[in-house]
Amino acid sequence: MHSILKSSFAAIVTAGIAATSAMADGHAALSGDLKITSDMSNPAPRAVMEGLVADFQELHPDLNIELTIVDREAWKTQIRNALGANPPDVVNWYAANRMGPYVEAGLFEDISDMYENGDLPGLDSVKGAMTLDGKQWGVPYTYYQWGIYYREDIFDELGLSEPTTFDEELANCQKIVDSGRSCYAIGTKFLWTAGGWFDYLNMRTNGFDFHMQLARGEVEWTDDRVRETFANWRKIIDMGGYIPDHQSYSWQEALNFMTDGEAAAYLIGNFAVPPLREAGLTDEQIDFYQFPKIADVEMGEDAPTDTFHIPSGAENKDNARAFLQFVTSADVQTKINAGDALGQLPVNADSGVDKDEFLEQGFEMLSSNATGGVAQFFDRDFPAEMASVGMEGLQEFMVFPDNLDDILARLEDARQRIYQ
């Protein structure tokens, strides 16, 4: 599925994002061509992408813009070929290690100078997600927080408060278990949710930099520091903290344990909030807190980030850079991430956020977390094959924690093979 938009697309600007005169004054008039390939194919993201192009077209009426929208899943296999001969000028992709293969292959343009020269103000908290080998290879345009969503009414019933340390988290969990409930809902049928638990426990136990070293294959899975992460995880498993038979449920099915009051909390992304509301929980019954501190390390966060990049073989790099600057500007970020658009978080710390309790909490947490590091989630940060083997091991550990030695040995064998 695709659409080609040229200068005539300015006619639908009213359905997109209104350009401001201030922004127009801040961008020199452009001419020539700009070719964009986007994977924002679902209805709401597609409307946002088309609106962005229409708005940019209005600012630059002499610019010839060609937008091609491809299916999001298909793009995962098409992107490498698209970056080869005659690539577009701008493409969508993902941050951190997911962009690594294209950086290493020389297919993404280094735009470090845009960050250094102040062309991208307000992006300090997300700059790290765009950094490999000390350089920046693109810009983010939207992300969302992970954290612990919990039943505030159950906490009130049991006299619990939001924990700030892991010891407090475990003490809360014990009281929840003693009340006949599980601490945490989780569905590991499709494995990736276990990756979220490992991400947070490892970042809190060993720090963001160590977690990224593990993701890059620079640390052995049998390292004592990795074992310490699993030791912390086992404290929850051994007290019966998770719902039984979680390997039988998808993440959506596991939400029922939280909505029915059989589990008190869920470590998950903000995408879980709409189904919790649809199931009948009110915002007075749900709240959110940051995964608590374990060791004396900076507080890294999982915040999957979608990005724009300039292919190194692009023909219209100046126009592409102007588009990246436009997309990440504070006003545009506010508009495209609004509830009636993407409904996620703006990457620019100077942007506004919709009056939504959870978006506001997530934005505050991530915008003030510039030094802790922003991870992209286990199956994005680790190479695809390592992520698949790794998540199988993580799920197995949650069900059979006594298998840890065998699990770590298998993951280490996989690391040595995959990262050659």
Both tokens of residue 285? Answer: 């019954």
For the chain, the C-alpha Rg in angstroms (whole number) is 22
CA distance 195 to 119: 35
> Could you tell me how far CA 121 lies from the centroid of its own chain?
20
Per the CB < 8 A criterion, the answer to whether 61 and 10 are in contact is: yes
Q: Show the domains of the chain with their CATH numbers.
A: 7-143+306-367 (3.40.190.10), 146-302+383-418 (3.40.190.10)
Both tokens of residue 322? Answer: 């102007």
Q: pLDDT grade, residue 310 (50/70/90)? A: very high
Q: What number is the average pLDDT over the span 150-166?
A: 98
Partners of 293 in the β-ladder: 165
Position 42 scores a pLDDT of 86
Q: pLDDT grade, residue 266 (50/70/90)? A: very high
CA atoms within 13 A on the CB side of 195: 25
**3-state secondary structure string, 232-255?**
HHHHHHHCCCECCCHHHCCHHHHH
Q: What number is the average pLDDT over the span 86-94?
A: 97
Q: pLDDT grade, residue 369 (50/70/90)? A: low
Position 36 scores a pLDDT of 98
Q: What number is the average pLDDT over the span 29-42?
A: 95
Q: How many helices (H) and strands (E) in the chain?
A: 18, 13
Q: Per mean pLDDT, which range of 273-277, 386-390, 397-401 is the poorest?
A: 273-277
Q: pLDDT grade, residue 19 (50/70/90)? A: very low
Tens digit of each residue's pLDDT (9 = 90 or more) over 206-256: 999 999 999 999 999 999 999 999 999 999 999 999 999 999 999 999 999
Q: What number is the average pLDDT over the span 90-107?
A: 92
Position 367 scores a pLDDT of 80
Does residue 355 sit in helix, strand or coil?
coil
Per the CB < 8 A criterion, the answer to whether 19 and 63 are in contact is: no
DSSP H stretches of helix in 180-329 = 192-206, 208-215, 224-238, 251-259, 273-278, 317-327
Per the CB < 8 A criterion, the answer to whether 46 and 69 are in contact is: yes
**Helix 192-206 / helix 384-399 crossing angle, nearest 10 deg:** 90
CB atoms inside a 10 Å sphere around CB 293: 17
Position 205 scores a pLDDT of 98
Give me the percent of the chain exceeding a pLDDT of 90.
80
| 1 burial level (CB within 10 Å; 0-12, 13-18, 19+) | exposed
